[in-house]
Amino acid sequence: MLIQKDGIFRNIDERRLPEYKSKGFDAVNVVDKIVAEEESKEEKQPKAPNKNTKAKE
């Protein structure tokens, strides 16, 4: 079972979920994690250079 707290993800045995919930972790739907990773990648991608500016030679 995948759990998360802030940016920390852990894969744990389902029987230990109450222990981790008391520490602030929550169960994560795998689809939610994939979407979050894709959004993170989009934010980190460098912007393309402006086509209207001349390149330095």
Residue with tokens 């981790």: 20
CA separation for the pair 41, 27 (Å, rounded): 22
Is the full-model pTM beyond 0.85?
no
Residue-wise pLDDT tens for the chain (57 aa)? 899 999 899 999 999 999 999 999 999 887 766 677 776 776 666 666 666 666 555
b/e sequence 16-44, b meaning 16+ C-beta within 10 Å: eeeebeeeebeebeeeeeeeeeeeeeeee
Residue with tokens 């460098």: 46
CA separation for the pair 48, 26 (Å, rounded): 37
